Each structure stands twice: as C-alpha cells, then as structure tokens.
Amino acid sequence: MPHQTIFPFNLGITKERLTAHGGLSLMVEFNHGISLRELTDKYLPLPGSNRGYKPPVFVDPLVLMLEGGGRSLEDIRELEEEKELMKLIGNASIPDTV
C-alpha cells in the first residue's frame, strides 16, 4: 500500500498571488505516494561520478511536466520558475543538459 505524506501547505482563500501551476502540488503528493523517487533510484542507474545527479533529479520534473500537460522539454523551464513547487519536489533547480 502506498505511504501517505502530508506537505506543508493548506488549501483555502487567500489574497496572495496565485500561480497557474499550483494544482501540480497534488500531483507531487501523488508521485510521492506511489514512491516514484524510490522506484527511479531502484531501476535507473546511479551517476558514474561524484559530480553526477541521481535519477529523481531528472525524472521528477519530467513526470510532473507530463502530468501538467507539457508536450516538449521546453515546458520544463516553466516548472523551474515555480520556486515553491520545486521545493515540494525537493529540487532547487533542474539541471541543464547543455
């Protein structure tokens, strides 16, 4: 049975600035509930050097982008600008592939 986590946010009425990607926080909760991070660590190869990134650093934003309706890798850059959402994922930023 998937484990349930509770993120530090509340749903309610606010006068704060809203974001178009705020609903993806529920998808982050779902991804954590199905242990996506643990699955990627288990089935994808770890970095070959101490300067590499673990698989969830790439997989989490990619899956979240697809869940949010993204169609190309360029759409990941929109997610990177959502700083609070990136904190929920556990990534400060998305690594460049250049």
Mind listing the pLDDT tens digit for each residue in 64-78? 889 989 888 888 888
Distance, CA of 22 to CA of 13 (rounded, Å): 14
Residue 98: the pLDDT is: 41
Tally the domains of the chain: 1
In a domain, 83, yes or no: yes
Give pLDDT < 50 ranges for the chain. 98
In a domain, 6, yes or no: no
82 CA to centre of own chain: 10
Residue 92: the pLDDT is: 67
Residue 86 near residue 92, CB atoms below 8 Å: yes
In a domain, 4, yes or no: no
Residue 91: the pLDDT is: 72
Residue 95: the pLDDT is: 74
In a domain, 82, yes or no: yes
The CA-to-CA distance between both ends of the chain, in Å, stands at: 39
Residues whose CB falls within 8 Å of the CB of residue 60, separated by 6 or more in sequence, listed in order:
31, 36, 37, 40, 89, 90, 91
Residue 80: the pLDDT is: 78
